[in-house]
Amino acid sequence: MSETVPAERFEEQRPRLRAVAYRMLGSLSEADDALQETWLRASGTDTADVENLPAWLTTVTARVCLNMLRSRRRRREESMELRVPDPVVSPESGLDPEHEALLADSVGLAMLVVLETLKPSERLAFVLHDMFAVPFEDIAEVIEKTPAAARQLASRARRRVEDQTITPERDRGRERAAVDAFLAASQQGDFDALVAVLDPDVVLRSDGGTARPALTSLLRGARTVAGQAVMFTKFARLSRPVLVNGAPGFVVVDKHGPVAVLALTVANDRIAAIDILADPERLERLEL
């Protein structure tokens, strides 16, 4: 007798599946699209012989995301665009239950930026195995390779993530102190104070999308980044404190609505990374 996935069983797994899709795609809207495609496949497939439904749904979601990543990668190779992943923005008072599920293992925006540099199959292997403990045998079926090859892909991705991801400050008080110092220096346009609060090797990534190409940039070094004081001053005066992927950040709002989201990664009491999403189309989809 054939049997498809009941809607209530799928809804039980939705938070976990959305977390998988968000880490795979770095896009909240695309993650929702991936879950919709997963549901369409699940509701039209005979799952009577499926012994572990959560694991099966995870691999279906992963396969959908892999196809989306490959398609996106082809488009990006043509445009060579810099892309800052979608931030998860929450009130400064704390994460709501939905965001807690989405960020269960504290995935910061800086890590998602590194995941963007991985090949699709590497990203899938790393996310599924290292973040969700999916066996390599199951991963191998999704990427159509051997378990040994899947293990190698995850290992290669892990090395890159460990080498390039900044380890953030774990003390929320010290983290907020550095962010507040950055905001104060930005509001005053104080170049020297900005240099003092920035890590010497700070990286700034800004994504303005096709609507604001002038705001798309990649800058490195404290003095170079502090040189953007004019932009920071404009942003700082319109900033409202929020949590961005669970860490202190800002939403910049003018009379027309959200202008940008700033995610700040603090390490050793200094700002080590600044990720800015200023693409109006994507900001609108975030429903800030």
Predicted confidence (pLDDT) per residue in 52-90, tens digit: 989 999 999 999 999 999 988 766 554 446 789 999 998
Domain limits of the chain? 7-78+89-164, 172-286
Alpha helices, DSSP H, located in 222-273? 222-226, 229-236
Q: What is the pLDDT of residue 120?
A: 95
How far is 56 from 91, CA to CA, in rounded Å?
34
- Check residue 246 and give left, alpha or beta (phi > 0: left; psi -120 to 50: alpha): left
The CA-to-CA distance between both ends of the chain, in Å, stands at 47
Q: Which ranges of the chain have pLDDT less than 50?
A: 1, 78-80
Q: What is the pLDDT of residue 59?
A: 94
Q: What is the pLDDT of residue 202?
A: 95
Q: What is the pLDDT of residue 57?
A: 94
Assigned CATH topology for domain 172-286: Nuclear Transport Factor 2; Chain: A, (3.10.450)
Q: What is the pLDDT of residue 106?
A: 56
Q: What is the pLDDT of residue 75?
A: 65
Tell me which amino acid residue 42 is. Answer: A
Return the structure tokens found at 239.
């900033």
How far is 186 from 199, CA to CA, in rounded Å?
15
Q: What is the pLDDT of residue 76?
A: 59
Q: What is the pLDDT of residue 102?
A: 62
Q: What is the pLDDT of residue 247?
A: 84
Q: Which residue has the tokens 């809607």?
A: 7
Q: What is the pLDDT of residue 80?
A: 46
Answer whether 261's CB lies under 8 Å from 190's CB. no
Residue 128 DSSP label: I
How far is 246 from 265, CA to CA, in rounded Å?
11
Assigned CATH topology for domain 7-78+89-164: Butyryl-CoA Dehydrogenase, subunit A; domain 3 (1.20.140)
The per-residue b/e assignment along 94-133, b for 16 or more CB within 10 angstroms, e otherwise, is: ebeeebeebbeeebbbbbbbbbbebebbbbbbbbbbbebe
Residue 145 DSSP label: S
